Amino acid sequence: MTDSYTEFQARVARIYDGEKSKRSFFKKRTSQTLDRDGYFVIRGAARRRSFPWTGLLLVAVAFFGTKGAVMAKVGPDFYSQQVNRLAPASVIEEAGAWTMRPDPISRWVAMQIKSLG
């Protein structure tokens, strides 16, 4: 029985060594608990969620792309007039005017869209 146990432990060690070389970038996190029978149960802990940079980047691209598309469609002068018309209104409309004002990124996107069509 001890031969099979040592052989089993050697196989387990090889598996864990192989996983370490494959995933050396990630930290190994485990959760250890003691169940009712007195056995230690070792489980992988849940991955810690990081900030969703990809989602934030997609929102920014969609925002500037939409502004650029509208500026390309109606023209920069008319777009600026409409945004300036919102400025002396309520607080919500002032915030909308501030976010929708023409900026260099939106102008560049508008120029790229105009050059395509």
List the domain boundaries for the chain.
2-44, 53-116
CA distance linking residue 117 with residue 111, whole number of Å: 10
pLDDT tens track for 2-59? 788 888 888 888 887 765 555 555 556 677 788 888 888 887 766 777 888 999 999 9
pLDDT at position 89: 79
pLDDT at position 21: 55
pLDDT tens track for 59-109? 999 999 999 999 999 998 898 888 888 878 788 888 888 898 999 999 999
Report the half-sphere exposure of 29 (CA within 13 A, side-chain side).
7
> Using CB atoms within 10 A of its CB, is residue 96 exposed (0-12), middle (13-18) or buried (19+)?
middle
pLDDT at position 78: 92
